[in-house]
């Protein structure tokens, strides 16, 4: 049923049935008294651009983009925010008379979950980022904006991590950003973020337990009904742990703010999802 005068939003993905985004945005809309609809849309693997243009033709105002279309969304956008350019990927699209603008709210969502929900400041801390793919790349600029003492990026292929260091080192200041293989990580860290896809295979990034100390915050970008293998591993070595659900809610709030100009409160939505 179409409700007249109501703005339309959606999330594109493949697969998409599991997405919690419609529940999150419905809760945000109710709490902020915004009139909108938000639905899941399964885009064909070879038909993402067509699916987006069809949604725009139906009057769509904006969309979220999830796996595997974030790089395609980056290429499709006519304009990009600074953080989308830095991430090299887009998870949020805004449609207006100027065309398609691409944004990336993932890293901002991660940082908000760490600093606000977990109450752990990033400033002056030693941060370890595991992985150097799209998820990790989107996190680097928002982390550096909080001025950590060090940001170490560890990846199976060291060259990929080194490419990130080359891109972002000028923003971090002298010697702040470094790269290594998983086996070359040096010392312990205050915040350890698993941005690898290992948890999807119930696998563990091959890092030494010595990266954790009592009081380390270990966050896995993945989430599920049970703690991930990485979370269990980190907890067994003294870390406090979080999954990616808070990041999911916070990146959604950031997208909602970009679309509506209103920043929804997230605590109640996150508590209800838990």
pLDDT in the model for residue 150: 97
Q: Where in the chain is the domain with CATH 3.40.50.10860?
A: 7-103+247-273
Tell whether 135 is in a known binding site: yes
Catalytic residue among 40, 61, 70, 125: 70
pLDDT in the model for residue 1: 42
- What pLDDT digit, counting tens, does each position of 195-249 carry? 998 877 878 999 999 999 999 999 999 988 899 999 999 999 999 999 999 999 9
If you classify domain 7-103+247-273 with CATH, what class do you get?
alpha beta
- What pLDDT digit, counting tens, does each position of 157-177 carry? 999 999 999 999 888 878 899
Tell whether 194 is in a known binding site: no
Tell whether 66 is in a known binding site: yes
Nearest Cα to 191, choosing from 249, 118, 133, 134? 118
Q: Where in the chain is the domain with CATH 3.40.50.720?
A: 107-242
Name the DSSP class of 214: T
- C-alpha–C-alpha distance, residues 230 and 234, integer Å: 6
- C-alpha–C-alpha distance, residues 21 and 104, integer Å: 15
Which residue is listed with tokens 């725009």?
Answer: 56
Tell whether 78 is in a known binding site: no
- C-alpha–C-alpha distance, residues 239 and 212, integer Å: 6
Which residue is listed with tokens 């009592």?
Answer: 214
pLDDT in the model for residue 3: 52
CATH classification for the domain delimited by 107-242, as one of 1.10.10.10, 3.40.50.720, 3.40.250.10, 2.60.40.1260: 3.40.50.720
Residue 70 annotated among the catalytic residues of the structure: yes
Tell whether 91 is in a known binding site: yes
Residue ranges of the chain whose pLDDT lies below 50: 1-2
DSSP letter for each residue of 58-117:
TTEEEEEE-TT-HHHHHHH-SEE-HHHHHHT--SEEEEETTEEEEE--HHHHHHHIIIII
Nearest Cα to 248, choosing from 113, 139, 120, 86? 113
Angle between helices 158-172 and 134-144 (to 10 degrees): 20
131: tokens are 């992985």
pLDDT in the model for residue 2: 47
Tell whether 131 is in a known binding site: yes
Tell whether 221 is in a known binding site: yes
Phi, psi for 149 (deg, rounded to 5): -70, -35
Q: Largest Cα–Cα distance of the chain, in whole Å? A: 58
Tell whether 119 is in a known binding site: no
- C-alpha–C-alpha distance, residues 42 and 55, integer Å: 12
Nearest Cα to 32, choosing from 260, 273, 252, 251? 260
145: tokens are 């904006």
CA distances, 166 to each of 109, 153, 172, 186, 195 (Å): 24, 12, 11, 19, 19
């Amino acid at each position: 049923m179409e409700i007249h005068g109501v703005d339309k939003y959606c999330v594109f993905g493949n697969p998409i049935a599991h997405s919690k985004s419609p529940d999150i945005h419905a809760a945000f809309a109710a709490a902020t008294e915004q009139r909108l609809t938000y639905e899941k849309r399964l885009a064909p693997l070879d038909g993402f651009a067509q699916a987006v243009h069809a949604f725009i033709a139906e009057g769509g105002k904006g969309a979220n983009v999830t796996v595997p279309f974030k790089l395609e969304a980056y290429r499709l956008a006519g304009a990009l925010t600074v953080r989308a350019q830095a991430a090299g990927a887009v998870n949020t699209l805004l449609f207006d008379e100027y065309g398609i603008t691409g944004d990336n709210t993932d890293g901002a969502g991660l940082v908000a979950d760490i600093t606000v929900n977990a109450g752990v400041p990033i400033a002056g801390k030693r941060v370890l980022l595991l992985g150097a793919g799209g998820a990790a790349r989107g996190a680097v600029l928002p982390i550096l904006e909080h001025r950590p003492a060090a940001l170490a990026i560890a990846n199976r292929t060291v060259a990929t991590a080194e490419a990130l260091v080359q891109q972002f080192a000028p923003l971090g200041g002298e010697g702040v950003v470094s790269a290594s293989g998983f086996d070359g990580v040096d010392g312990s860290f205050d915040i350890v973020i698993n941005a690898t896809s290992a948890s999807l295979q119930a696998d563990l990034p091959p890092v030494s337990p010595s990266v954790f100390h009592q009081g380390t915050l270990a966050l896995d970008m993945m989430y599920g009904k049970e703690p991930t293998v990485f979370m269990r591993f980190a907890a067994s070595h003294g870390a406090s742990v979080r999954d990616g659900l808070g990041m999911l809610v916070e990146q959604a709030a950031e997208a909602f703010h970009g679309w509506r100009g209103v920043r929804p409160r997230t605590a109640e939505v996150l508590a209800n999802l838990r």
